[in-house]
Amino acid sequence: MAILEVKGLEKQFGSLEVLKGIDFSLEKGESMALIGASGSGKTTLLRCLNFLERPTGGQIIVNDNVILDVSSQKTLNENEIRKNRLHFGLVFQSFNLFPQYTTLQNVTLAKELLEKDTEDYKKNKKQVLDRIREEGKEILDKVGLSQKLDDYPHQLSGGQQQRVAIARALMLHPDILCFDEPTSALDPELTGEVLKVIRGLAESHTTMVIVTHEMKFAKDVSDQVLFMDQGVIVERGTPEQVFEHPTEERTKQFLQRYFEEK
Ligand code: ADP
Ligand code: MG
């Protein structure tokens, strides 16, 4: 069953059409790589999924529930948006950690805020906070940061900060974890440690949409690849199909340019 279906998604900024009817679906446990030149609309697509942008057309369906249907004209309230957003985790290019909080605090903060209104929290605050901290530690252990729980962001390398950002996203158990060029802001020697974490997530069947310029990595970890150009999905298929046997001229040119530059 598809965990995510995107149908006819459109986004216009004024008269600029940035997404021109995007369709795709993602199975539970599947990783999708989204590739394409700068300016093709990849970030805008992820921002629409995360309700950071409001699409101007189309539908977003998660687990068979239509969470956004632009044609219905229904305006979602803050609570609905917050709830919808929880289906998606987002790891940005820049890590965006809170500088005044430790590694563990950065990871547990959102969960603590979410639990604050529950009956359980009101009755058993200490137990709930302890449980959240334990879970935060477990997730940080998975991304290889159990030695850095009490460090502040400025004490961590870029690769470590990005792993904290991944742990923070995992902490909320999103249905779909999205990455927007997660290694583009890193020094080359630090990209490997972040890609390794994402690779591990793919191996444990985390459902992911990964925007990346790391083509070899995209080929290795993804189950399907979408190539996007000027707001349109030009080509899609298995990594083998898209990278080894592209059929569209635009895909061929994009890949050729990429591998020439490397
Ligand atoms: P990519 O991530 O593939 O590089 P983006 O989604 O960032 O592409 O951008 C796609 C296009 O949308 C670009 O032409 C960009 O200038 C435009 N764009 C993105 N955000 C906005 C915005 N808030 N207002 C106006 N134009 C935007
Ligand atoms: Mg982008």
Question: What's the pLDDT at 237?
Answer: 98
Please give the average per-residue pLDDT across 14-28, as a whole number: 97
Task: Burial-class residue 25 by CB neighbours within 10 Å (0-12, 13-18, 19+).
Answer: middle
Instruction: Kindly report, residue by residue over 71-98, the tens digit of the pLDDT.
Output: 997 888 888 898 999 999 999 999 999 9
Residue nearest to atom 21 of ligand 1 (CA): 13
Q: Please state the rounded mean pLDDT for residues 56-63.
A: 97
If you measure from the C-alpha of residue 44 to the centroid of ligand 1, how many angstroms do you get, rounded to a whole number? 6
Residues 6+ apart with CB under 8 A from 94: 185
Ligand 2 centroid vs 226 CA: distance in angstroms? 15
44 CB under 6 A from ligand 1? Answer: yes
Query: What's the confidence (pLDDT) of residue 74?
Result: 80
Give per-residue pLDDT as tens, 213-259: 999 999 999 999 999 999 999 999 999 999 999 999 999 999 999 98
Nearest to 31 by CA among 216, 201, 171, 232: 201
**What's the confidence (pLDDT) of residue 76?**
85
- Specify the pairing of strand 224-229 against strand 176-180: unpaired
CA 129/CA 35 separation, integer angstroms: 40
Ligand 1 pocket test, candidate residues 9, 13, 212, most atoms within 8 A of CB: 13
85-143 pLDDT, tens digit per residue, is 999 999 999 999 999 999 999 999 999 999 998 999 999 999 999 999 999 999 999 99
- Residue from 44, 48, 181 whose mutation best tests the ligand 1 pocket (most atoms within 8 A of CB): 44
d(CA 180, ligand 2 centre) in Å: 7
Structure token digits, residue 166:
């991944």
